[in-house]
Structure formats: structure tokens, C-alpha cells
Amino acid sequence: MERATSSHRQMVSTRSNVKPFNISQQQNILTVGACLICHADNSQIMQQSLINFDSLVAKRSLECVMPVW
């Protein structure tokens, strides 16, 4: 396992040829994952999310459960 150093801590990646995701990137991935629990990846809403995810999240229904960071 290769270690990439940052200014304050070391980050670890499971592969030697890629950098690990930072906390913000991990949260973004998990947020989209929460959407994919209910919405198919090829659904219209998920296709629209590729264009402007933040605007769709702002207009989501009360049934949509999003992670709280």
C-alpha cells in the first residue's frame, strides 16, 4: 500500500497508481449512492443529476433521504 502525504496527515490508497479520495469526495460519492438506493442509474432523474446534481437535491421530495454530514 502506497502512502500519499498531505499537509497534515497521510492518506492511504488501496492501489499504488491512484490517489485516495478526500473526505469531501467520499461524501459526494456516498450522497449519490443514497439516491441510487431508490432511483435506477439510468432513470431520467439520475441522468439529469449528471448535469446539475445540486439543483436536483434542492428540489427533492420529502421522501428522499439524504446523508447528513
Mean pLDDT by 10 residues, the chain (69 residues): 54 83 94 95 95 94 91
d(CA 30, CA 32): 5
pLDDT number for residue 11: 73
Q: How many CA atoms lie within 13 A of 59 on its CB side?
A: 8
Instruction: State the Cα–Cα distance between residues 39 and 54, nearest whole angstrom.
Output: 16
In this prediction, residue 3 carries a pLDDT of: 53
